[in-house]
Amino acid sequence: MFTGITEETGFIKSFDGHTLVVECKVILDDIKIGDSVSVDGCCQTVVSLSPNSFVTNVSSETLKITKGFNVGTKVNLERALTLSSRMGGHIVQGHIDGTAIYLGDYTFKVTDDLLKYIVYKGSITVNGISLTVSNVRQDKFGVAIIPHTFENTTFKYLKIGDKVNIETDILGRYVENFLSWKNNIIDENFLSENGFV
């Protein structure tokens, strides 16, 4: 589990379609083989370490759902949350739901299957960055960015037309699943039976 607060930006040194090598400095001080690291929002397991990089094995599911990993690009990195960490962003699993296209002006085009989970003033993760949704309309959503986030993540490198990884807020997916399970309906009877009324 992560918070969506980028600890550093790393660099994709190599990727052969399965093995990913990421160059970095800061997070190497406190990771070991078997640890989870968010790479542009994708939860990856560290399988080996060197003095200036870590290696992960990328699954076919990750490649199918995400924007992929291009050699030579910068990526947002975050170590897994610990019980003693502050919860600075929001609950992020590192399980990408799909991708969106950057339209400029902090706005992204997204498909309806993701848009239904995006709510005004809700949380969203874009390339592993925890952000607040500033508007939702038709097939687009916008996010609020402060200068610190812009300068300390890969957001400053985004160009119009770039594809980004999206993880929607897990709470919306749980609610949808609950309501669709065996015709669950939240009405006055449900609230009464469960002690809410």
Residue 20 β-bridge partners: 15, 56
Q: Which residues of the chain have pLDDT under 50?
A: none
The CATH architecture of the domain made up of 8-79 is Beta Barrel (2.40)
pLDDT of res. 53: 97
* Confidence (pTM): 0.86
Give the CATH number of domain 98-182; options: 2.40.30.20, 3.30.200.20, 2.40.50.100, 1.10.340.30.
2.40.30.20
Q: Please indicate whether the domains covering 8-79 and 98-182 agree at the CATH topology level.
A: yes
pLDDT of res. 175: 77
The residue extents of the domains of the chain are 8-79, 98-182
* Nearest C-alpha neighbor of 11 from the set 102, 66, 77, 63: 77
pLDDT of res. 101: 98
Structure tokens at 124: 């969203």
pLDDT of res. 182: 65
pLDDT of res. 183: 67
Residue 129 phi, psi dihedral angles, 5° rounding: -95, 125
